[in-house]
Structure 1
Amino acid sequence: MKSVQFHVPGKPQGKARARTVYNRSLEHSVSYTPENDLLYENLIKTMYIHAAKGIKFDKEVPVALRIVARFEPTKSTSKKKRMQMLSGEIPVIKKPDIDNIVKVIADALNGVAYKDDTQIVFVAAKKTYSAEEGLDVTVEEYKTESQEN
């Protein structure tokens, strides 16, 4: 079974909404993706390509995504609370939303890991505190229980 694991360094970011502006010269509205999203998606693509060593999932192959978004506790957090955060006793309840984290990864890997993100049939994602911020991502071929036996 094909599987690619990779790490994206830095604070996890979610997919921002597309911006829409009215273009007077064209006389209609134009939507665009914010620059920060494009830069973050390019970082995700680069990290995947480096780890994948040429692995790409064909268009008929169902794909599973497993994502762990790691956040560092703030510097002002007390030692006791920091230990509770790092041990998993205190969950991450802050932005970005987990669905927006999944969306930015799924969109970034379009055409790179798989033909289209419609191939994603299973997602497991969580936010956690960690001493090192970043995303841990696994992209793998999805197997049903009947295929595993």
Structure 2
Amino acid sequence: MQFFVEGIPVGKGRPRFMRNGHAYTPAKTRTYENLVRLRALEAMHGDSPFQGALCVTIVARFPVPVSYSKKRRLACLQASEKPAKKPDIDNLVKAILDGLNGIVFDDDAQVVQLSAAKNYAEVPGCEIFVSNADD
């Protein structure tokens, strides 16, 4: 299965704490996880979650900063330069896997192989591929 989540990819934010000690997930993270959930639901077409061991591949595409020169922009789009900036790739993966929980798979513990990359592209977003580990 594969699907695309439009928009600039967002990493999992650190939990925030209220004065009374309760923790909550930042709104930006919740919004992005909900968008991932929505696109996953559309891609699943009402099917039940995958069972067993899974492989997940995530390709995060970021926009080239507008301040870059034409030469540097071209280098970014040709993958000569990578987006070595925030969000950290592990936080990005965590936000996406949390968004897929309960929809594409029952628990992210089912993921036995994971591949993730950050690139520049004209159209920002995340391409997500999920397959059975046996395939």
TM-score computed with the length of structure 1 as normaliser: 0.86
Q: Deviations over 1:82-135 (max 9, x none)?
A: 111100111111100000110001111111111111111111000001011000
1:51 and 1:125 map into 2 onto residues whose CA distance is 20
1:11 and 1:64 map into 2 onto residues whose CA distance is 23
1:6 aligns with: 3
Q: Deviations over 1:39-95 (max 9, x none)?
A: 11110011011112133212xx01111000001111121111111110011111110
Q: Which runs of 4+ in 1 moved over 6 A?
A: none
Unaligned runs of 5+ in 2: none
Q: How far apart are 1:38 and its partner, in Å? A: 1.1
Give matches, 1:124-139, under 5 Å: 124-139=115-130
Aligned pair 1:89/2:86, yes or no?
A: no
Unaligned runs of 5+ in 1: 24-28
Among 36, 41, 61, which residue is 1:49 paired with? 41
Identity of aligned residues (%): 40
Q: How far apart are 1:22 and its partner, in Å? A: 2.9
1:40 aligns with: 32
Q: RMSD across aligned C-alpha pairs, in angstroms?
A: 1.1
Instruction: Report the count of equivalent residues.
Output: 134
Task: State the secondary structure of the residue aligned to 1:81.
Answer: helix
- Amino acid of the residue matched to residue 12 of structure 2? K
1:121 and 1:70 map into 2 onto residues whose CA distance is 23
